[in-house]
Amino acid sequence: MYYHKILFHLHHFLYNCCESRYDPFLSTIIFISQIYIHEHVYEYMVGTMFDISSTTTRPPKRSAFLKLLVLNLLRGKQMHGYEIMKELERIFGWHTVNPGVLYRLMRNLKNEGFVKIVEERERGKKVYEITSEGVEYLKERKEDLNKILEKIARIREVMKIGGKDLIGVISLLVENISEISTSQKDAIKEKISEFVQTIWNILETKGEQK
């Protein structure tokens, strides 16, 4: 995991280097590092994207914002685990929630007194309800919840215009980079630089075209 941390800090260093002027090569490295962090270092991606308030210097783990999302869902109605999982997948749009992760989260929420089991159905399905303590916890972190929902909405928009395919091809590139010839690497580098430049140009004129 240590080299992941190096990549994360390298990304921010290069980003700062490019703030004053556009450099296609450095921007390409930044772009690839962002995708790599997104795919393989989830906790760092969460800390960067959601910027949730924290008392520590480490970015919050996935459970930090899943907790808020689940409590927000339960504020509307009682739900069993599978319903919660499917609703989270609908909200994310690009990410499948691991049942094991959700199971541990619900157990922790129950132990913290934020949810309670109100019914047990066939096959061990537990129906959950938010408690008054859970509602209060959610109110105290309303700003964090709003940030999460806003960021998720933005990411879903990116996924709609090809972001998912982009992540897939970059992941494939990372897996096969050692088998690619020098000339192929140069060709890929050129294409990525052109792509980054195109996106950069579009972003510089955002809002000018309707």
Structural domain boundaries of the chain? 2-55+145-204, 62-141
Its CATH architecture, for the domain 62-141, is Orthogonal Bundle (1.10)
Lowest mean pLDDT among 11-15, 108-112, 137-141, 176-180: 11-15
Supply the pLDDT for residue 158: 85
When pLDDT is averaged across residues 145-167 and rounded to a whole number, the result is 85
When pLDDT is averaged across residues 113-141 and rounded to a whole number, the result is 91
Q: Please give the model's pTM, rounded to 2 decimal places.
A: 0.63
Predicted confidence band of residue 209 (pLDDT cuts 50, 70, 90): low
When pLDDT is averaged across residues 131-160 and rounded to a whole number, the result is 90
* 97 closest CA partner among 120, 115, 73: 73
